[in-house]
């Protein structure tokens, strides 16, 4: 055996001892064993209309996931302080209605304003856990009067720093009665381990150009947040995965009559309208080939885990890469305005 071959064999043996390679040492035909990304998928009920209690539940869920070694966790759409389920039930479109005003005022009072430090405890918990997070909140935006509400998906990195606040571009149907249209400022991706992660709110995931904006930035883990219910997640999640050749994570809440506070306006009517299981979950993860990594679960609070493999993405990108070799920017291109929108620009 010559010196070069002996050195190669010794190097292979050392890497094998460290668990960094697998296969045979014949020649140099070995593959690096890349680090997997462990994700936590909480399907839990909100503490409805109660920001502080809801944030405490988020923190306790992060702490539970940290014990299992999770590196990324995602929470449902508008988890803090909850989705506005009352709109359909109570005639939310009644103009200038005193009851609707009371409900909106309560909702607004429990919404999240990051600039006021509302998420500081969550950030500390994530930093302690070395975990990143996508958190769905109703944002009471300080830069838009401090009173209008936005359905926002917030990314916080492993150091506990808020990196993006994506305001839902187009609230869906009755949501427009309480949420304002967002902007493109949060259409960004983030590096996490061997992956590039991005996220969208609910029916934004049906918007081809919003998805394309994330694909163009190299997204290979797509996080979709939903208020709850299998009918939202079971069909679309595999489509998102297969279209993007990415991992697709759909995270939902559950909502029951028992989750409605007794002391809120129109509580009895809302409880009756929501019923035993108004939102039944359906959280799931699809592989980059569209197969299930975690199949949808319904009807109960759960905290499940999965490991994502960067090599799986690369294998699926061999024959289709939506913003790489299978795109035609010379024919079709997307322009994305990521400026945060505001009423006025002041020059002092």
Angle (CA) 128-133-139 rounded to 5° is 115
pLDDT value for 38: 98
pLDDT value for 17: 57
User: Which DSSP string do the residues of 104-142 spell out, in sequence order?
Assistant: HHHHHHTSB-GGGTTTHHHHHHHHHHT-EEEEEEEEE-G
At 258 the three-state DSSP class reads helix
Contact between residue 154 and residue 138 where contact means Cβ atoms under 8 Å apart: no
Contact between residue 89 and residue 269 where contact means Cβ atoms under 8 Å apart: yes
Q: Could you tell me the two tokens for 126?
A: 């994530």
Ordered by where they begin, the domains of the chain are 1-33 (no CATH), 34-317 (3.60.110.10)
pLDDT value for 175: 98
| Residue 72 bridge partners (DSSP) | 39, 132
Contacts of 20 (CB under 8 A, 6+ apart): 32, 33
Number of other residues whose CB lies within 10 A of the CB of residue 309: 18
Q: Could you tell me the two tokens for 26?
A: 């014949």
Q: Could you tell me the two tokens for 142?
A: 């300080």
| Residue 133 bridge partners (DSSP) | 73, 156
pLDDT value for 34: 82
Q: What is the CA radius of gyration of the chain?
A: 22
* Residue ranges in the chain modelled with pLDDT below 50: 4-5, 7, 20, 22, 25-30
Rounded CA separation 142/119 (Å): 14
Which helix or strand (DSSP H or E) is residue 307 part of?
strand 302-308
Number of other residues whose CB lies within 10 A of the CB of residue 321: 17
Number of other residues whose CB lies within 10 A of the CB of residue 62: 24
The owner of tokens 């869920």 is: 61
What is the separation of C-alpha 37 from the centre of its chain, rounded to a whole number of angstroms?
A: 15
Please provide residue 83's backbone torsions phi and psi, each rounded to the nearest 5 degrees.
-75, 145
Rounded CA separation 209/336 (Å): 9
Q: Could you tell me the two tokens for 220?
A: 């290979």
Active site residues: 77, 168, 202
Q: Could you tell me the two tokens for 207?
A: 């918007």
| Residue environment code for 106-139, b if the CB has 16+ CB neighbours within 10 A, otherwise e | bbbebbbebeeebbeebbebbeebebbbbbbbbb
Angle (CA) 215-220-226 rounded to 5° is 85
């Amino acid at each position: 055996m010559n010196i070069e071959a002996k050195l190669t064999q010794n190097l292979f043996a050392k890497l094998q001892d460290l668990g960094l390679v697998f296969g045979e040492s014949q020649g140099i035909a070995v593959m690096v064993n890349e680090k997997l990304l462990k994700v936590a998928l909480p399907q839990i009920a909100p503490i409805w209309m109660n920001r502080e209690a809801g944030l405490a539940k988020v923190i306790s869920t992060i702490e539970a996931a940290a014990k299992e070694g999770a590196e990324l966790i995602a929470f449902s759409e508008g988890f803090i302080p909850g989705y506005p389920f009352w709109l359909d039930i109570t005639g939310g479109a009644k103009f200038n209605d005193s009851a609707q005003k009371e409900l909106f005022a309560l909702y607004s009072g429990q919404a999240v304003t990051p600039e006021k430090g509302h998420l500081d405890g969550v950030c500390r918990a994530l930093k302690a856990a070395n975990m990143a997070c996508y958190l769905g909140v109703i944002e009471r935006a300080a830069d838009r009067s401090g009173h209008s509400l936005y359905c926002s998906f917030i990314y916080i990195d492993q150091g506990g720093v808020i990196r993006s606040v994506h305001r839902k571009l187009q609230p869906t149907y009755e949501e427009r009665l309480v949420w304002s249209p967002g902007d493109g400022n949060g259409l960004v991706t983030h590096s996490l381990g061997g992956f590039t992660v991005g996220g969208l709110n609910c029916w934004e995931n049906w918007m081809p150009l919003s998805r394309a904006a994330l694909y163009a930035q190299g997204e290979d883990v797509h996080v979709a947040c939903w208020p709850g219910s299998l009918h939202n997640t079971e069909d679309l999640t595999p489509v998102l995965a297969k279209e993007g050749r990415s991992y697709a994570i759909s995270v939902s809440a559950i909502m029951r009559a028992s989750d409605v506070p007794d002391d809120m306006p129109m509580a009895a009517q809302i409880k009756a309208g929501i019923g035993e299981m108004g939102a039944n979950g359906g959280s799931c993860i699809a592989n980059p080939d569209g197969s299930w990594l975690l199949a949808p679960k319904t009807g109960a609070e759960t905290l499940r885990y999965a490991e994502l493999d960067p090599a799986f993405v690369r294998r699926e990108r061999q024959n289709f890469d939506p913003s790489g070799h299978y795109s035609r920017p010379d024919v079709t291109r997307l322009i994305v305005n990521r400026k945060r929108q505001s009423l006025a620009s002041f020059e002092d």
